[in-house]
Amino acid sequence: MTEMIKLFVNGEEVEVESGKNLIDALEKVGIEIPHFCYHPALGADGNCRMCLVGIEDGRPPVVPACKTLAKEGMKVLLDADNIKKIQHDVMELEFINHPTDCPICDQAGECKLQDYYMKYEGTESRMWVPQVTKRKMQDFGGGVIHDQERCVACGRCVRFLRQITRTGELGLVNRGDDCRVEFFPGRPINNRYGLNVVDLCPVGALTSADFRFKQRAWFLKRAESICHGCSKGCNIMVDHNKEKYEDDIIYRLRPRQNEQVNGWFMCDEGRMTYKLENDNRLEECTLAGAVRPLADIFADAERRIERATKVLFLVSPSASLEQLAAVQALAEKTGATVSAFSDGYIVKDDGDDFLIKDDKAANRAGVDLLGIAKSRTHFDNMAKEADVFINFGNDLSRSLSEEQIGRLFSDTWVLNGATHPGQLGAVMEKKVGSSIALRSWSEYHGVVVNCDGIAQKFVGGVMKNVERPDIVEMAAGLGSPATGTAAAWALVQKKIPALAEFGGFLELPAEGVKLTDNEAGK
Amino acid sequence: MAAKVKQLPSRGGTPAEKVYLIEIFKGMAITLKHFLRNLWDNSNLYVRHYPEVQPDIPARWRGRHRLLTHPDGTPKCVACFMCQTNCPADCIMIKAGTRIDGVTEKMPVSFTIDLAECIYCGYCVEACPEDAIRMDTGIYAFTSSNREEMKIGMTEMLSLKGGFPEEEYQKGLEGE
Amino acid sequence: MSDRSKLIATGKPFKFDKKRDTEFEQLVKRYPSRESMVLPALWLVQEQESWVCQEAIGYIADRIGTFASKVYEVATFYSMFNLHPVGKYHICVCRTLSCWLRGKQDIVNYFRDELNLTPGKATEDKKFSLEEVECLGHCGSAPVLQINGEFYENMDVDKVKKLLATFK
Amino acid sequence: MTNLDIIMVIVRVSISAFVPLCFLAVCVTMERRVAGFIQDRSGPNRAGICGIRAGGLVQNLADGLKLAFKEDIISEHVEHKFLYVLAPIISMAAAIISFALVPFADTLVLDGKSYVMQGIPWDTGILWFLAITGFSVYGIILAGWSSTNKYSLLGALRSASQVISYEIPMGLAVISLLIVYGSINLSDIARFQGQTWLGFIPMWGILLQPLAAVIFIVAAFAECNRTPFDLAEGESELVAGFHLEYSAMKFAVFFMGEYVAMFASSAVIVTLFFGGYNIPFFDTDFLIRNIKPVAFVLLVILPVFMFYFAKWIRRNNRSQYLRENDPRKAEATIYIRCFWILIAIIEVFLLAILAFAQPDTAAAHLLVALMQICTFLIKVTLMLFVYVWVRWTIPRFRYDQLQMLGWQKLLPLALLNIFVTGAIVVALG
């Protein structure tokens, strides 16, 4: 445990962690100090002056909280008249040239200027001189749109690109009221983490071209999830909304703080994976080419599994632990073989040392933990022997070409559970015996283990109009003993003792569970 | 705070009133008087003979919605969704898009109001920061034989004209 | 203040000439880190070209090994870097209080009327260019003109006339 | 049984069965227009056939057609469908039957035979009415219970307890009347009221038994589920009470049953307290004996009445807004012409009677019977007006007020009335 120190805020004693600046330390105990330029990931800059607090009997009496370490016995004044005046005046300064075009600003609703205005200023503008006009709707590259008028020159975006990505595309040019964020002509934002500046921007100066004008922030429902784009397992917030008479769709993904995994950020590719969740999804379950109710397909498949001599299940390395365990249990019951062959999920030399990984599967570590074979030879051998092949959401078209798939399953009855069309190749899918449209990761709950062996829970908040089964339900429909997510979780706990202490996956801590090396690294 | 409350004498305390019958007959006499007067000559009825006699609509009347335009004919609406956010009946459906005519950056691509669901509360008008939506068309009778026709779109709302002179409408706003 | 963030590109690649190149390499040795070289390098550019173009900033950034945006920041922050082409004689008129009270406006008006020279612009023959600057620190002898680094004090329209005649 | 007997049975039964049904239209129109006039509205005045609106009567036709052609829904949750369908029928049938024993004219003597002018010539009289109206509550209870709906059930429960509470004062009020009249036969009662007291005061029940009249009328209101006692429906708290689940024709039957019950109880009230079919001051014998003067008086009165009636129609049958060639004025002309034709026909008949009829002949008897029927219907209509008038004046009681009135006020008063009446009757021998 970190050492705790005692200090006084407005005369009241509070206990905070030592070694932190005042903003962070007091935030932990629920006391807010307003700030624009400070961001825990970027460090203190001290240029906005919004976080000035009074220190009683201190020298100097007024200090920026972002640069001041919390010390034992410190007497912090937040509600002194001079502090209130500072906050009020800083806000007034920020608003001198602010266009106040909240109606058309995407940040409205999650904008610090708005929040602080309501909290710390709330007065009408006294300005009568014309405002300084600057460029609006400037394309910064990388899907970032900049509005110079809304900028408060906090420099978070500049510091992110210099300190975190070390590409430094942006700079604060000019000075005084003419100060603005610009990229050097011809060198726009061009890196794989550029969209993080949109989240970092405390106001609406930087907005995402992708999300721009799609939805207002206050309509969006949030679901705490894990990015399934690669094996890093960045913590994300799924912002989705079901508009009247329409389907529930995701509008954007935002990073969620998790110091162990992704810090505060995520990559641009990961952000865009939401499009896969919305568009081009399989909707119908078919049996011999005809749309049929799910129960019929399950009954038919169950009969075929019983009659078959050799059955092969293929699971996706992105499936949650529960789903993998459910399929495993089904395999144990029916004597089938489970494979997690997914060589195509690994993209060589794509990853970097920050967040992006080569392996584009969200739960490969989990596959290993549950002891599911994934080698190509194993899969090939089994595929040749099998006369019934059931795919549980594995995008086989990534690993094998259409021809190869066709050759492997030329005389095999195939049940294809998939989220998107084309996962077995377009030609092959016309020939499959049955197909089931599955739920995707934004629509179910579960636990995945990332490349560092951290088991993390995720919640699927999206409720599509078309009812689809997830893999646990599909396995249960085919006769798996794990009839629900809870039963599957019990199976997972049997296989992975480190998770045994958690009654349900929701009890997993928010920062995830670091599985020990011998468990994770098997 | 001691508010000054006017004390009214309480009624119904006298024995004659407690019997009720006398009061009942008093009341019946009143209704009978009305009945006989109107039976004798029905020209004094307080009835507007509606489709033939149309009511006078004041400028504050909340009728059907319209979208206002700038003098150059472009819509004033910037698709800020304030009306949709404030709509208690959930009847406004907006799709926003980028605006290229240079007036602002954002404009509605589609703006639909389901009049079958609208409760004509006027919150959308009050919420609008751009004075882009008003309910001053003076159209109060609006029927349709199916639900789809009750949805009105952007072009239709833009084409509607206000039913009152601007000064009269503004005067109506002051009264609120 | 005019918007200095719009850099002007010449369309030609920029390179230090030999003299500045060696000067640059010598200066590098004087500073603890290469990033400290931004200001001296910009001075070298202005010395060589009399103004700083977009290509020059990119060149310096690459030469120093820092972000172009950083050099860009510095160049736009300091008003003594000319970010647009200037004339042969770059005239800076102090516009701060003392000079103003002592008649700087007459001088500016003279330039405007006689030479068709307005602040921020150059004459057509690229001989003169004018800029109004903040305090030059010679308030005791206001108004002050600074022409290509040289100070001319206690100016009035007549003196300016005579002075300009010497440049011709 | 002669042919005349058979004809008279048919006539009597049809009068007692169809007059209440025909009066439905009068009731409903009156309800609407009186309500309108009391509230300074105009009531229904648009529906018409070729511009003929008949003062709102066509609106009833339209409503009836609408109800007849509406989809008749029996909800799936209704378990006892038979009882559900039976309920409105009971309600309606009980209402019609309860009128069967009310005399609408004095005993008619034709060819030396007397015919009692009531639907069923029984002597049970007022007891029949009490019995049958008590039975009509079964319709409501069945409807409320079989609807499988909380509101309906509550309405039915209220109705049941209300009927029990008010049957008692009603019966007791009737007892005091019976002490005075000395008979339970309604014909006897009506004939009794044909007498005059001291030569100029008609011996009507309302004068002999004012307290019983008040109690009976109040109880009759309650029995009919009319405002202020319509707690069984109570739109504001029970939505529509017992007939909430009923639609189309089944609802219409309930609706008609209510108005028929209203008519029947009006008829009974008129018979008990307002001299029944008697024309005040002129008893049957007097009229039959002086048939020629009576015919002459009618001959004179009818055109005079029609003249003023026509003026009233002209004044009120017009559009209330500016309209070119007001069609309603043309309509008024048609009405007036029709009425004049009707009057002319009646005049011809009266002239014939004046010229040829002798006192105490069949023609004289028939004319007097017709006059009495008209008198009776006019009286009933006025009583119906009172029903409507009360409905649009007095608000609904609360349930506890209703029971308090029944048990704590009406019941003791009725008992007191019996005691006092008995004492007086005994004292006067």
Whether the per-residue pLDDT at A522 is higher than 70: the answer is no
Structural domain contains residue D171: yes
Q: How confident is the model at residue A520 (pLDDT cuts 50, 70, 90)?
A: very low
Amino acid (one-letter) located at C142: A
In the beta sheet, which residues pair with residue A490?
none
Give the mutation candidate from D31, D40, D397 for the B interface (greatest B CB count, under 10 A).
Answer: D40
Chain A CB contacts of B78 under 8 Å are 103-104
Do residue D393 and residue B31 have CB atoms under 8 angstroms apart?
A: yes
Do residue A173 and residue C68 have CB atoms under 8 angstroms apart?
A: no
Cα angle, residue D169 at apex, residues D165 and D171 outer, rounded to 5°: 110
Structural domain contains residue D318: no
Average pLDDT of chain A is 90
The C-alpha of D400 sits at a distance from chain B's nearest C-alpha, in angstroms, of 16
User: Of D235, D195, D233, nearest to D106 (Cα)?
Assistant: D195
Q: What is the pLDDT of residue A392?
A: 92
Radius of gyration of chain A (CA): 27
Whether the per-residue pLDDT at A21 is higher than 80: the answer is yes
Structural domain contains residue B123: yes
Structural domain contains residue B23: no
Quick: pLDDT tens for D370-386: 888 888 899 999 999 99
CA A404, A406, A411, A414: dihedral to nearest 10 degrees? 110
Q: What is the pLDDT of residue C25?
A: 92
Structural domain contains residue B60: no
Minimum-distance CB partner of B34 among D40, D316, D390? D40
A491/A485 Cα distance (integer angstroms): 10
Quick: pLDDT tens for D20-55: 888 888 888 888 888 888 988 888 888 888 878 877
Structural domain contains residue D45: yes
Whether C5 has its CB under 8 Å from any CB of chain A: the answer is: yes
Do residue D37 and residue B44 have CB atoms under 8 angstroms apart?
A: no
User: Of A211, A249, A213, nearest to A461 (Cα)?
Assistant: A249
Give residue B120's domain range. Answer: 66-174
Chain B CB contacts of D389 under 8 Å are 28, 31-32, 35
Distance of CA C85 to the CA centre of its chain: 9
Structural domain contains residue B157: yes
Quick: pLDDT tens for D275-321: 888 887 777 777 777 788 888 888 888 899 999 999 988 888 888 77
Whether the per-residue pLDDT at B1 is higher than 60: the answer is no
Q: What is the pLDDT of residue A312?
A: 92
D390/D424 Cα distance (integer angstroms): 33
Chain A to chain C Cβ contacts (< 8 Å) = 59
List the subunits that have 3+ CB pairs under 8 angstroms with A: B, C
Do residue B44 and residue D40 have CB atoms under 8 angstroms apart?
A: yes
Whether the per-residue pLDDT at B73 is higher than 50: the answer is yes
Whether the per-residue pLDDT at C90 is higher than 70: the answer is yes
Whether A183 has its CB under 8 Å from any CB of chain C: the answer is: yes
Structural domain contains residue B17: no
Could you tell me what percentage of chain A is helix, strand and coil, using 3-state DSSP and rounding each to the nearest 5?
Answer: 30, 20, 45
Q: What total number of domains does chain D contain?
A: 1
Structural domain contains residue B56: no
Quick: pLDDT tens for A39-96: 999 989 889 999 999 998 878 889 999 999 998 889 999 988 999 999 999 999 999 9
Q: What is the pLDDT of residue A257?
A: 92
Chain B to chain D Cβ contacts (< 8 Å) = 54
Quick: pLDDT tens for A441-494: 999 999 999 988 899 999 988 999 988 999 999 999 998 888 888 899 999 988
Rounded (10°) angle between helices C54-64 and C38-49: 140
Whether D319 has its CB under 8 Å from any CB of chain B: the answer is: yes
Q: What is the pLDDT of residue D47?
A: 81
Structural domain contains residue D294: no
Structural domain contains residue D351: no
Minimum-distance CB partner of A216 among B78, B85, B98? B85
Residue ranges and CATH numbers for the domains of chain A are 4-94 (3.10.20.740), 96-208 (3.30.70.20), 286-514 (3.40.50.740)
Do residue B35 and residue D393 have CB atoms under 8 angstroms apart?
A: no
Query: Which helix or strand (DSSP H or E) is residue A87 part of?
Result: helix A81-96
Amino acid (one-letter) located at A277: E
Q: How confident is the model at residue B175 (pLDDT cuts 50, 70, 90)?
A: low
Instruction: Please tell me whether residue D20 adopts helix, strand or coil conformation.
Output: helix
What percent of chain A is predicted at pLDDT more than 70?
98
**CATH number of the domain to which B157 belongs:** 3.30.70.3270
Structural domain contains residue D19: yes
Do residue A103 and residue B82 have CB atoms under 8 angstroms apart?
A: yes
Q: How confident is the model at residue A516 (pLDDT cuts 50, 70, 90)?
A: low
The C-alpha of A128 sits at a distance from chain C's nearest C-alpha, in angstroms, of 19
For A172, the closest chain C residue by CA position comes to: C73
Structural domain contains residue B11: no
Do residue B130 and residue A244 have CB atoms under 8 angstroms apart?
A: no
B138/B56 Cα distance (integer angstroms): 10
User: What are the backbone dihedrals phi and psi of residue B152, each rounded to the nearest 5 degrees, phi first?
Assistant: -110, 140
Quick: pLDDT tens for A267-312: 999 999 999 999 889 888 998 888 999 999 999 999 999 998 899 9
Among A248-252, D103-107, D169-173, top mean pLDDT goes to A248-252
Minimum-distance CB partner of A216 among B78, B81, B97? B81
Whether C22 has its CB under 8 Å from any CB of chain A: the answer is: no
Structural domain contains residue D108: yes
A253/A398 Cα distance (integer angstroms): 24
Minimum-distance CB partner of A213 among B93, B96, B130? B96
Do residue B98 and residue A216 have CB atoms under 8 angstroms apart?
A: no
Do residue A168 and residue C72 have CB atoms under 8 angstroms apart?
A: no
C152/C99 Cα distance (integer angstroms): 12
Whether B98 has its CB under 8 Å from any CB of chain D: the answer is: no
The C-alpha of B53 sits at a distance from chain D's nearest C-alpha, in angstroms, of 7
Q: What is the pLDDT of residue A521?
A: 44
Minimum-distance CB partner of A171 among C9, C58, C69? C69
Q: Do chains C and D touch (3 or more CB pairs under 8 A)?
A: no
Chain B CB contacts of D34 under 8 Å are 35
Q: What is the pLDDT of residue C2?
A: 59
The C-alpha of B34 sits at a distance from chain D's nearest C-alpha, in angstroms, of 5
Q: What total number of domains does chain B contain?
A: 1
> D168: which 2 tokens?
């008692």
Peptide bond preceding A202 in cis form (omega within 30 of 0)? no
Whether A159 has its CB under 8 Å from any CB of chain C: the answer is: no
Q: Which of residues 101-130 of B touch D (CB under 8 A)?
A: none
> A385: which 2 tokens?
């022997």
Chain A to chain B Cβ contacts (< 8 Å) = 35
Q: Where are the alpha helices (DSSP H) in A77-167?
A: 81-96, 112-120, 156-159
What percent of chain D is predicted at pLDDT more than 90?
5
Q: How confident is the model at residue C1 (pLDDT cuts 50, 70, 90)?
A: very low
Give residue D415's domain range. Answer: 3-278+380-428
The C-alpha of B81 sits at a distance from chain D's nearest C-alpha, in angstroms, of 39
Quick: pLDDT tens for D236-284: 777 777 888 888 888 888 888 888 888 988 988 988 888 888 887 777 7
Q: How confident is the model at residue B102 (pLDDT cuts 50, 70, 90)?
A: confident
Contact A391, A341 (CB under 8 A): no
Structural domain contains residue B44: no
State the ipTM, two decimals.
0.72
Q: What is the pLDDT of residue A517?
A: 58
Q: Which residues of D302-311 are buried (b: 16+ CB within 10 A; e: fewer)?
A: beeebeebbe
CA distances from A285 to A279, A391, A467, D426 (A): 17, 14, 11, 95
